[in-house]
Structure 1
């Protein structure tokens, strides 16, 4: 399928080890021209560590929004490297929570900000968890971890303690997976 917006030219306006920001000059289907800013970032893995009717979540200070929030463990390979999504998911789970998963079930792939970024993420359900030591990065030194019930999870969303769109989208994939497996009667649970 041919793209409906044609790239006329492209230039990198900023780059570091985590991202590239480029500005593209574009031509729309009607022939009018414009610019498009695009953030290129590597895909990441997000893990839902589930057991005993709830989830293990992490909380940390998020500099861009200036506050602490809860989310499922997630991260990307350093220096925009590529690698197997499940390996990355297992690494992030152990690094942030200390847990090792006996079973890692892929739930799907989503884009997190498809209007501005190339980045997407693979979602995994981690079960058969075994506790271990964390190995957090320096940026994660203020990270906290907590087990939350499903009711707590929903309350956190309502109260604004979870604002991470990737965690909320991953939860939707989990509900769809459970529904397909006959594990939950309806997606509202």
Structure 2
């Protein structure tokens, strides 16, 4: 952890406690600024791309069953390269949009980079606004076999938030970047 350029917490050693093809969990033995020891659990996951497919005053969202929370929720399309690979964020955004929705973006604009769960993970995500959309066939991964897609107006988006049907922090943070981009955030 850094405060400006000054290291605030020093890692003394680290060990991997779990690993699969999607993530690694490590436990670090640390020293705090006052010299006291501690441990820190860190989830390592690759950065992902999140796409806001916008047209006709609204957005295309995807819905799927989210095992960790035990229910279906709506979100903007998002994902990582397979098996932790790294690559061009714009290519990833175009790929995820097409795979999950079948849509192709004539224009893709980068709105920013954010971190999610920065208290437990260094994972971040690039947010893209996709416009000039062209419909096509989706090519969802096996894990996305229950995914649905639908267009929602902006009013319906906020109704989904109020009803607890959009609970994804990355989707809401991306919407905040969109509002800033449009000049509607105060």
Per the normalisation by structure 2, the TM-score is: 0.97
Cα distance in 1 for partners of 2:165, 2:33 equals 42
> 1:143 is matched with which residue: 142, 147, 150?
147
Q: Does 1:12 align with 2:16?
A: yes
Q: Does 1:48 align with 2:48?
A: no
Residues 120-159 of structure 1: pairs in structure 2 closer than 5 A = 120-159=124-163
Aligned length: 182
Q: Which runs of 5+ in 1 are unaligned?
A: 180-185
Q: Which runs of 5+ in 2 are unaligned?
A: none
Query: RMSD of the TM alignment (CA)?
Result: 0.8
Counterpart secondary structure, 1:8: strand
Q: CA deviation at 1:40?
A: 0.4
Per the normalisation by structure 1, the TM-score is: 0.95
Cα distance in 2 for partners of 1:81, 1:103 equals 25
Cα distance in 1 for partners of 2:157, 2:7 equals 40
Which aligned segments of 4 or more residues in structure 1 are displaced greater than 4 angstroms? none
Q: Which residue number corresponds to residue 161 of structure 1?
A: 165
Counterpart secondary structure, 2:8: coil
Residues 1-189 of structure 1: pairs in structure 2 closer than 5 A = 1-179=5-183, 186-187=184-185
